[in-house]
Structure 1
Amino acid sequence: MSPLVKIRSERDQMSAIERRIADFILENAHLLRDYSSQQLASALGVSQSSVVKFSQKFGFRGYPDLKYSIGQALARNGGDVPAAPEQEAGDDYARLEEALRRSKAAAEEETRLLNPRERMEEIVRLVDGAARVFVFGLGDDGLFAREFAMRLSLLGVLTVHHADPILMMANLSAARAGDVMLLFSEFGQLPQLSQISRQFQACEGKVVSITRHTSNPLRAHADASLVVSAHDPQPHIEALLYRSALQYLLDFLFVLLCQANPERHRQLGINLERIRHLLET
């Protein structure tokens, strides 16, 4: 994983000093070669040891190794995302369009790297082997939960979906060992979801959390987790990046489920044909 991607994805879990160092590195990666650890520390108003410890936190022996690794990543890829084409001066429309496209591409790439193949395949096995899959989310998370529950149903997966926590809690009486629950929560802090998660696990079911790549109660107690990385200093842009990266992650999970079980793939075709026929009559 690119050191810049790793630093960006871990930013939310850093201390204030670490975030100051991380932000400088992320915003000035191409200039980093001109800074020694002492110069960087002086520019940020932190101690040199803080810079060294920051580097070691990401698995490097010290700041020179971190700087070298970032330089190599930039040389290989030209940065985390493709360079933007030159825009005419004052062309705000084109600038905004290109900036959003690049930011979405970066968020999706970071999210891909944070969910390795082994983890994705483990979750595919859990979902494909479950007798029932419970799906739950609140607010905006509920929109993604509802859509993914529908996709699972098209694959022939017996799916239990509710947008009301009380109804979902009541339905846990039907949960059995081997069932799976997908819990959608961007920040993983809602106490209702934690309660539902614990009750479901008490029924010997497996919980899969879908949250931001942060330390949060829901992710900490889940049996498996999918994580989303989306960062931008502008809150409205960051929200868009989260939705885009989450949609990419769910789309890929759906494709993996289609390929993992030929019978489910066949059932998908049957259900899509039934829906087409229903809409045409």
Structure 2
Amino acid sequence: MTNPLVKIRSERDQMSAIERRIADFILDNAHLLRDYSSQQLASALGISQSSVVKFAQKSGFKGYPDLKYTIGEAIARNGNGHTQLPEAVQDDAPDAYQRLQDGLRRSKLAAEEETRSLNPRTQIEPIVEMIDQAGKVFVCGLGDDGLFAREFAMRLSLLGLLTVHHADPILMMANLSAARPGDVLLMFSEFGKLPELSQVSRQFQACEGKVISITRHTANPLRAHADAALVISAHDPAAHVEQLLYRSSLQSLLDFVFVLLCQANPDRHRQLAINLERIHHLLES
């Protein structure tokens, strides 16, 4: 069963203004929700009680009590994904050190689990097929996204896929002259809002290629206009921790897509073994 907080978070961008206010309150105060009746929640937000009840029903619950109970159960099992980490670790505080280590590990696991929930099999398998059947795979990403794009492009090359990688949208735009129908563009962009990346994507689709966006699960222009999307979940009050959660969840998802590509096509798997052996000999010589 999908974590109700994951469900609310993933659907937030499609909600009305009042629904977003309710969703934000629940996401920020999930551990306190058990103390709020529907009327108290409505009063805290300055809205009607019926708006709270309708929100619960629209989210797939029988009513507000069902929503509150389900969220309480989820927190008891998994927490709310916002593990509070100690601000500092002193040399004479081994317990704080251990809490910091355990807290980060739990936060990563929670973010990766949310990411898995947001990318179901029905969504990932068609993407794997698109990549496997592509004549060429174009890969683009800037900044930190470019690091993941480069590494994934290398892995695709090891599978025998003809891969075109650029960390510069201008150079990628110049390479679109080589795009053909059925080719695939993997566009890495955490927030999906850079106009130049959206422009490259539109031009690629004009060449009858398919665009796969890799972004956060928020609504964004790149994701909205892509033919398919992989989405990443990463939430934490501390910005530096949230960035680590994003990187961890993204890497986990890309690793799974790569394994699926290996399993989907035996020829790809054989080519991977051949290329790895060639690299091994090269490094030893």
The answer to whether the superposition gives a TM-score over 0.5 is yes
Moved more, 252-261 or 17-26: 17-26
Q: 1:6-37 CA distances to partner (integer Å, 9 max, x unpaired)?
A: 12344566677655544543455455344320
Query: Which of 126, 144, 147 matches 1:143?
Result: 147
Match of 1:207, SS?
strand
User: Which residue of structure 2 aligns with residue 258 of structure 1?
Assistant: 262
Alpha-carbon separation, structure 1, partners of 2:222 and 2:140: 13
TM-score by length of 1: 0.89
Moved more, 25-34 or 221-230: 25-34
Residues 233 and 208 of structure 1: CA distance in aligned 2, closer, same or farther (over 3 Å): same
Alpha-carbon separation, structure 1, partners of 2:10 and 2:240: 18
Structure 1 unaligned regions, length at least 5: none
User: Which residue of structure 1 aligns with residue 4 of structure 2?
Assistant: 3
Q: CA RMSD in A?
A: 2.5
Match of 1:257, SS?
helix
Contact 1:8-1:231 within 8 A present in 2 as well: no
Alpha-carbon separation, structure 1, partners of 2:250 and 2:193: 18
Moved more, 127-136 or 230-239: 230-239
1:89 deviates by 7.9
Alpha-carbon separation, structure 1, partners of 2:168 and 2:240: 27
Alpha-carbon separation, structure 2, partners of 1:48 and 1:199: 48
Contact 1:155-1:264 within 8 A present in 2 as well: yes
Match runs of 1:265-276 below 5 Å: 265-276=269-280
TM-score by length of 2: 0.88
Q: 1:164-195 CA distances to partner (integer Å, 9 max, x unpaired)?
A: 11111111001000000100000100011111
In the alignment, structure 1 residue 196 sits paired with structure 2 residue 197: no
Query: Which of 112, 115, 130 matches 1:111?
Result: 115
User: Which residue of structure 2 aligns with residue 49 of structure 1?
Assistant: 50
User: Which residue of structure 2 aligns with residue 134 of structure 1?
Assistant: 138
Q: 1:222-275 CA distances to partner (integer Å, 9 max, x unpaired)?
A: 000000011111111111111110000000000000000001001001101111
Q: 1:186-226 CA distances to partner (integer Å, 9 max, x unpaired)?
A: 01000111111011000100000000001111001000000
In the alignment, structure 1 residue 208 sits paired with structure 2 residue 212: yes
Match runs of 1:225-264 below 5 Å: 225-264=229-268
Match of 1:225, SS?
strand
User: Which residue of structure 2 aligns with residue 60 of structure 1?
Assistant: 61
User: Which residue of structure 2 aligns with residue 35 of structure 1?
Assistant: 36
Contact 1:200-1:207 within 8 A present in 2 as well: yes
Q: Amino acid of the residue matched to residue 265 of structure 2?
A: N
Q: Amino acid of the residue matched to residue 195 of structure 2?
A: P
Structure 2 unaligned regions, length at least 5: 85-91
In the alignment, structure 1 residue 174 sits paired with structure 2 residue 173: no
Residues 94 and 160 of structure 1: CA distance in aligned 2, closer, same or farther (over 3 Å): same
Moved more, 147-156 or 160-169: 160-169
Contact 2:139-2:165 within 8 A present in 1 as well: yes
Contact 2:191-2:220 within 8 A present in 1 as well: yes
Number of equivalenced pairs: 276
Q: Amino acid of the residue matched to residue 170 of structure 1?
A: A
Alpha-carbon separation, structure 2, partners of 1:7 and 1:169: 37
